Amino acid sequence: MPVSIAHYKEPFLTYLGQVRGASPLTVKTYEIALRQMLQLCHVEEQRLYLMPFRKAIATQNKKTITKKLSAVRTFVDYLNEIESLKIILRDDTPIKVPKSLPKPIEHHHIMEALSHANPQEYLIILLLYGMGLRISELSHIKLDAIKPRWIRVTGKGNKMRDVPITAQIFDAIAHYRSLYAPRAFLFEDEEGKLSEDSLRYKLVKAFERVAIKATPHQLRHAYATQLLNSGAKIEAISELMGHESIATTQIYTQLASKQKMATYQQAHPLMTLSPKE
């Protein structure tokens, strides 16, 4: 007889946010995936058959399908480890997703946006580009985590890391604090900490002012690419960016290689040489 596991969804989402430190956006993404899955699938003899769910999402792009299946797997892990249900997943064949190369914003475009930004936008751009932060990490920077040579950042899964900053960044933070007088978090409004969406909106508007489309993650990509092109070791970059696996950082090496080849093809005088007949 089919058994419903829907009543475990809300406790799981609470666990995801409060215990595992997932961002509100991640929790919302999981909620949508689980709601759809639970409408279509049931547990029979301790087996959760995913085929109805997989058929329903089959027309979506591979990355979306992968994220939704990952949400279901994490939910089942919770059921087994926390709720002791011993659920077995069926029809859970992984989806192969081609890794796409990030598209960083060029340095001169970033400098142009900085030159037209207000003080708050200026610091948002400077920290994302100068520290390689995720937007969630930027949102959670506390005043007491800021030191003259580094900032303690709270990354994925509430993992802490110290990211170095330049004297220029520290001075920009001091100037910003003198203007905005934040109380606990670096970026605040009257109600408290600015949300990720608010920070993202401010960034997008700053770049739109100079007719450039930009996302916070592109600035993070630009940070990694600049370090690679300047000869930094990939292990150090991986640690600075808070990657759990160096394989994630290696995507940027492919991008840097493509950029170097493009530069070579554009700049080397032999590229204009006609073949000898």
Active centre residues (catalytic)? 134, 156, 217, 220, 243, 252
Judge contact between 232 and 242, C-beta under 8 A: no
Cα Rg, the chain, nearest whole Å: 23
Q: Report how far residue 22's alpha carbon sits from residue 30's, in angstroms, rounded to the nearest whole number.
A: 10
User: Could you write out the DSSP letters of every residue in 91-127?
Assistant: S-PPPP-PPPPP-PPPHHHHHHHHHT--HHHHHHHHH
DSSP string, 202-269: HHHHHHHTTT----HHHHHHHHHHHHHHTT--HHHHHHHHT-SSHHHHHHHHHHHHHHHHHHHHHH-G
Q: Specify whether the backbone of 213 is left (phi greater than 0), alpha (psi in -120 to 50) or beta.
A: beta
Of 233, 261, 254, 206, which is closest to residue 103 (Cα–Cα)? 254
- Residues with Cβ within 8 Å of residue 17, at least 6 apart in sequence: 24, 27
What's the rounded Cα separation, in Å, for the pair 239 and 17?
24
